[in-house]
Amino acid sequence: MTQKTQIMDAEWMEFHPSPRKPEFQPPKGAVDAHCHVFGPAADFPYADMRKYTPCDAGKKQLFALRDHLGLSRNVIVQASCHGYDNAALVDALECAGDLARGVAVVSPDVTDAELGALDRAGVRAVRFNFVKRLVDATPQHVFLDIAKRVKKLGWHIVVYFEAADLHDLVPFLKQLPTTVVVDHMGRPDVSKPVEHADFQEFIMLMATSENIWAKVTCPERLTIAGPPYDDVIPFARTLVDLFPTRVLWGTDWPHPNMKSHMPDDGNLVDVIPRIATTVEKQQALLVDNPMRLYWS
């Protein structure tokens, strides 16, 4: 093990070992539309290009959490620590059958045969990661090229960026030819109010681009105040209220790179009725929207 790996291991917290049962009961067929599988490294080694080394968090633990929380399906997102090697993701998808779909990360020279195999395994999107602490930069023209290729498969694009990069990325995001899902609401700085120009720019982007969706995820990652995440609720609730048919929810299990606290996933489920405040909004957020995007 390299020195870098040991340092990164020491910085990473284990996911919660025994989350409580949530009080909120998700509607039948609810989807966790943002979660990961990590390794186990003995079967699926982490990529040399990774910027952090996670704790192993495999498919069996993910599916047990799904059942424990009262959820029915998963959308598993390839994380940067597995680089372009989607083997752990594909293995989890094959094990889950129709109960999971995937978001892959692919290299610029991915072949059509490889894309076809991912499609058959249940992948329905690629992720473009702009977060500088997680990945080395990929030129935008490379991403646009990949976008054109995956559009032919009927896939969409998931983008991950930090709030400070939104303004510069808007022209790129508007060029993408598919549905575009923005991870974690574009990671707003929740020390500024919803009305601040920064979050309003994100709202304006969604208002003017009907193909852009948002994941109202990661209160644990965005919060400054900590649980029960009162400071993040208004951001998520605003998006659910304004764009009820273009929002997704997920746990983000196993919560990579969390340094301040490790959330109890039961608490994350109990955030749902505070951001989707009617039965109709909950049904759209948890069932209808993800099913339309990933299962139709």
Which sequence positions are flagged as catalytic?
252
Instruction: Tell me whether residue 80 or residue 282 sits nearer to ligand 0GY (CB atom).
Output: 80
User: Rule CB under 6 A: which of 140-169 touch ligand 0GY?
Assistant: 160
Residue 220 in the binding site for ligand 0GY (CB under 6 A): no
Residue 257 in the binding site for ligand 0GY (CB under 6 A): yes
Q: Say how far residue 287 (Cα) sits from the centre of its chain.
A: 16
Q: How far apart are CA 144 and CA 138, in angstroms?
A: 11
- Given 30, 31, 71, 81, the residue binding ligand 0GY (CB under 6 A): 81
Residue 267 in the binding site for ligand 0GY (CB under 6 A): no
Residue 56 in the binding site for ligand 0GY (CB under 6 A): no
Contact 295, 101 (CB under 8 A): yes
Instruction: Tell me whether residue 50 or residue 237 sits nearer to ligand 0GY (CB atom).
Output: 50
Residue 183 in the binding site for ligand 0GY (CB under 6 A): yes
- Which parts of the chain fold into alpha helices (H)? 3-11, 59-69, 87-96, 112-121, 140-151, 166-175, 197-208, 219-222, 233-242, 265-269, 272-275, 279-283, 289-294
Residue 289 in the binding site for ligand 0GY (CB under 6 A): no
CB of residue 195 to ligand 0GY, shortest distance in Å: 25
CB of residue 34 to ligand 0GY, shortest distance in Å: 7
CB of residue 103 to ligand 0GY, shortest distance in Å: 10
CB of residue 214 to ligand 0GY, shortest distance in Å: 13
Segment near ligand 0GY (CB under 6 A); pick from 61-69, 235-243, 251-259, 281-289: 251-259
Residue 248 in the binding site for ligand 0GY (CB under 6 A): no
Residue 182 in the binding site for ligand 0GY (CB under 6 A): no
CB of residue 129 to ligand 0GY, shortest distance in Å: 6
Q: Is 248 helix (H, G, I), strand (E, B) or coil?
A: strand
Burial bucket for residue 80 (CB in 10 Å: 0-12, 13-18, 19+): buried
CB of residue 255 to ligand 0GY, shortest distance in Å: 7
Write out the two tokens for 90.
């594909």
Taking the CA of residue 277 as centre, how many other CA atoms within 13 Å lie in the half-sphere pointing to its CB? Answer: 11
Residue 270 in the binding site for ligand 0GY (CB under 6 A): no
C-alpha closest to that of 126 among 159, 90, 88, 83: 159
User: Rule CB under 6 A: which of 97-136 touch ligand 0GY?
Assistant: 129, 134
Residue 252 in the binding site for ligand 0GY (CB under 6 A): yes
Contact 29, 287 (CB under 8 A): yes
- Given 79, 166, 190, 239, the residue binding ligand 0GY (CB under 6 A): 79
**Cis status of the peptide bond prior to 108, with omega within 30 of 0:** no
Q: Say how far residue 167 (Cα) sits from the centre of its chain.
A: 21
- Given 19, 56, 66, 80, the residue binding ligand 0GY (CB under 6 A): 80
Q: How far apart are CA 69 and CA 235, in angstroms?
A: 24
Write out the two tokens for 68.
């424990």
Q: How far apart are CA 228 and CA 93, in angstroms?
A: 32
Residues that bind ligand 0GY (CB under 6 A): 79-81, 129, 134, 160, 183, 252, 256-257
